[in-house]
Amino acid sequence: MARPEIWIERFLVGPKFAPVYVNSGKYILPARHLHWYESPLDAVYSILRDQVGLSAPRGKISLVNVQSHVSGDVNSEKEPPHWDVCFLYRARVSGKIGANLTRPEWFSELVFRPLDSLGKDDFARGHGDVLDAAGILGKRKKA
């Protein structure tokens, strides 16, 4: 996404990091923080609808992994340590739905890539580390 304000508005990225992600040229997963009293599964439906423009029946969405790690710096008052818990879901959509996917104007970079073609360094926002630690990021195919 070429406009940092979209990262702030849609992906709940702080204003300090939005330009960094925009200029990284790397992928991010559709993601956001949970709202108060929201279940992880309810967040998945919201993310699919609001960020990807898809809807999927409950039977087509499954929890793949829960991955957690500590972020931040113990010596920093601006970015003190905090615990991240990442709920990884997989949504299976039919080819018919995927073929009819319309990229939102604000998310022209929306693409689907096979996991086996990506490494953890292809992602920004720590998403590659999360996928790698969860064991679901594919290995690059040898040429």
Q: Is 64 within the bounds of a domain?
A: yes
- Going by C-alpha positions, the residue among 85, 78, 99 that lies closest to residue 130 is 85
* Phi then psi dihedrals of residue 19, to 5 deg: -65, -30
**Confidence (pTM):** 0.69
| Counted domains in the chain | 1
Query: For the chain, which residues score pLDDT lower than 70?
Result: 1-4, 7, 10-13, 94-100, 106, 108, 138-143
- Going by C-alpha positions, the residue among 85, 90, 70 that lies closest to residue 30 is 90
- Going by C-alpha positions, the residue among 133, 107, 111, 129 that lies closest to residue 120 is 129
Q: Is 50 within the bounds of a domain?
A: yes
Residue 88: which domain range?
4-133
pLDDT for the residue numbered 142 = 45
Q: Is 143 within the bounds of a domain?
A: no
- Tens digit of each residue's pLDDT (9 = 90 or more) over 68-100: 777 778 888 877 777 778 888 888 776 666 666
Q: Is 115 within the bounds of a domain?
A: yes
Task: Note the residue count of the chain.
Answer: 143
